[in-house]
Amino acid sequence: CYSAVLTARNENFAKVKQSDIMAFENFLGKDGVQKDDISNHTTDWTGQFKGHGSLVLYPKSTDEVSAILAYCSKNKLAVVPQGGNTGLVGGSIPVHDEIILSMNKISQQFAFDDTMGILKCDAGFILEELDNKLAKHGYMMPFDLGAKGSCQIGGNIATCAGGIRLIRYGSLHAHLLGVTVVLPDEQGSVLHLGSDIRKDNTSLHTPHLFLGSEGQLGVITSVTMTAVPRPKSVQSAMLGVQSFEKCCEVLKLAKSRLCEVLSSFEFLDDAIMECLKTNLGLHPVLNSPTPFSILVETSGSNEDHDMEKMSAFLDELLSKKLIVDGVLAGSSADAAKMWKLRESAPLAVTRDGYVYKHDVSLPLNSYYELTNVMKERCGDLAKRVVTYGHLGDGNTHLNITSSKQNENLEKLYVSILIPILLLIFRMYPFLYEWVVAHGGSISAEHGIGQLKLPYSNLGKESEERLLTKKLKNIFDPNGILNPYKMI
């Protein structure tokens, strides 16, 4: 468990007193303050981060967030913003005794312009709820992820979530137009940044500072962004591939042949397929096992046209011997079965007991080499070394599992001169240094949070780090917002 081992408590922060609780109850009402049974707010989805916070606040509006942050700033109380608490790096979990500011009750305002496709809503809306609302207008959210049933749009913006459609619709940078944020200063300043229109080049694009800001700069209470037309025809196919090089060839061909209708290109290796079968009883849809499987999806507006493209693509893959097996979903139930495999991968690995999760970007020529390097390095100490991910975005999720947290898996002792032993770290920082040395990023989409804090300087110029710190000081002069994390 990572809790609180990385950074000592900052003793400049005050501890919550009874008078603070009374003040919060005064401006939020008794139902806006929770002191007991808060473990679902102090533990993350993986169970690896456990914080020591003892208070959860539930504001219902931007004004209430403003009142909380003004009070906390004046009284030097540290605060951690929390959305759906599905983040995978411990960013939403208090490290010491920070107050948890839950966004669960800020989900009233929803407006949608179905001509321009512009959505404006409160930050506490759950992603799937928004998507269902947009469906009634023939639109959908421009991104999708396995945690859609619990994560919130504010949390998605704060993590710059990627997911399974980025190859088609781009990152959230392509969609964010405006945010309302509350700053952790003594006024609890409310800023409306950006605008509610599609094009506006009149100032710096300040809303984008909040994309991937991990609750470091301010609390996002409202979001304006573009949605995309909901496709009328969606085709999914699972492909069996013998080598990673061929997977890359398939990707290249998918981009050229499926072109404007290509909407997902997801990757699973045989180790995660085995894990899905053993741990969740989910069986592959391909007839025979292959080292690699690819889930490709097209989304368009004309079923005949899209199906024709997909079928021609599959024929070409077979004739060029790029795949050895391919199954085209004949119904939405078939497609759901394929997606269930991909979306259950994060859950399947947790069932081994303990999982070392990695989320890195790499140029494709190093993408799977990392898996092979780590397999070799971990040997029999790991229960499994599995990889799935968003291959079309160069984003790999390498997961190394073990029945429980295993120090030997993290560290490696090498004898240099008996009896002198040299301690080498088997997994960290080796893995992240390897990623940076191969031109990658140590976090493609999950962020830094607590998990990657010790390595967050890797691959970043000192000037960029300094600039980031200066920005943090402008937004959060007392440093009370989400301390001990990314910045």
Instruction: State in angstroms the smallest separation of the CB of 151 from ligand MLT.
Output: 11
- Each residue 214-253 as x (binds ligand FAD by CB under 6 A) or -, in order, gives xx---xx---------------------------------
Q: Is 280 in the site for ligand MLT (CB under 6 A)?
A: no
Q: Which is nearer to ligand MLT, 267 or 455 (CB)?
A: 267
The sign one gets for the Cα dihedral 363, 367, 369, 370 is positive
Which residue, among 166, 176, 234, 170, has the nearest Cα to 206 in the 3D structure? 176
- The CA distance from 23 to 282, in Å, is 51
Instruction: State in angstroms the smallest separation of the CB of 206 from ligand MLT.
Output: 27
Instruction: State in angstroms the smallest separation of the CB of 348 from ligand FAD.
Output: 10
Which does residue 482 bind out of ligand MLT, ligand FAD, none, counting CB within 5 to 8 angstroms by kind?
ligand FAD
Q: Burial, 88: exposed, middle or buried (Cβ in 10 Å; 0-12, 13-18, 19+)?
A: buried
Instruction: State in angstroms the smallest separation of the CB of 93 from ligand FAD.
Output: 8
Q: What is the CB neighbour count within 10 angstroms for residue 469?
A: 10
User: Which residue of 146, 229, 429, 459 would you call a contact of ligand FAD, by CB under 6 A?
Assistant: 146
Q: Is 66 in the site for ligand FAD (CB under 6 A)?
A: no
Which residue, among 450, 468, 484, 447, has the nearest Cα to 98 in the 3D structure? 484
- Asked if residue 225 lies in contact with residue 177, where contact means CB atoms within 8 angstroms, the answer is yes
User: Which residue of 32, 53, 87, 194 would you call a contact of ligand FAD, by CB under 6 A?
Assistant: 87
- Each residue 389-408 as x (binds ligand MLT by CB under 6 A) or -, in order, gives --------x-----------
Cα atoms found within 13 Å of the Cα of residue 18, Cβ hemisphere only: 0
User: Which residue of 110, 146, 433, 471 would you call a contact of ligand MLT, by CB under 6 A?
Assistant: 146
Q: Is 345 in the site for ligand MLT (CB under 6 A)?
A: yes
Q: Is 117 in the site for ligand FAD (CB under 6 A)?
A: no
Q: For the chain, count helices (H), then strands (E).
A: 16, 21
Q: Is 84 in the site for ligand MLT (CB under 6 A)?
A: no
Q: Burial, 430: exposed, middle or buried (Cβ in 10 Å; 0-12, 13-18, 19+)?
A: middle
Which does residue 182 bind out of ligand MLT, ligand FAD, none, counting CB within 5 to 8 angstroms by kind?
none
User: Which residue of 32, 51, 163, 392 would you call a contact of ligand FAD, by CB under 6 A?
Assistant: 163
Tokens standing for residue 193:
């940044």
The SS3 assignment for 222 reads: strand
Which residue has its beta carbon closest to ligand FAD? 155
Q: Burial, 258: exposed, middle or buried (Cβ in 10 Å; 0-12, 13-18, 19+)?
A: buried
CB pairs under 8 A, 24+ apart, for 326-333? 326/237, 326/238, 326/239, 326/240, 326/286, 327/237, 327/238, 327/285, 327/286, 327/287, 328/235, 328/236, 328/237, 329/235, 329/236, 329/237, 329/238, 332/234
Instruction: State in angstroms the smallest separation of the CB of 13 from ligand MLT.
Output: 32
Beta bridge partners of 264: 297
Which does residue 121 bind out of ligand FAD, ligand MLT, none, counting CB within 5 to 8 angstroms by kind?
none
The SS3 assignment for 276 reads: helix
DSSP state of 231: P
Q: Is 142 in the site for ligand FAD (CB under 6 A)?
A: no
Q: Is 178 in the site for ligand FAD (CB under 6 A)?
A: no
**In the window 353-372, what residues touch ligand MLT (CB under 6 A)?**
357, 359
Q: Burial, 40: exposed, middle or buried (Cβ in 10 Å; 0-12, 13-18, 19+)?
A: exposed
- Each residue 318-347 as x (binds ligand FAD by CB under 6 A) or -, in order, gives ----------------------------x-
Q: Which is nearer to ligand FAD, 81 or 440 (CB)?
A: 81
Which residue, among 389, 330, 343, 337, has the nearest Cα to 364 in the 3D structure? 389
Q: Is 446 in the site for ligand FAD (CB under 6 A)?
A: yes
Instruction: State in angstroms the smallest separation of the CB of 357 from ligand MLT.
Output: 6
Can you give the binding site for ligand MLT, defined by CB under 6 A?
Answer: 146, 345-346, 357, 359, 397
Can you give the binding site for ligand FAD, defined by CB under 6 A?
Answer: 45, 80-88, 91-92, 103, 123, 145-147, 151-152, 154-156, 158-159, 161-163, 214-215, 219-220, 346, 445-446, 482
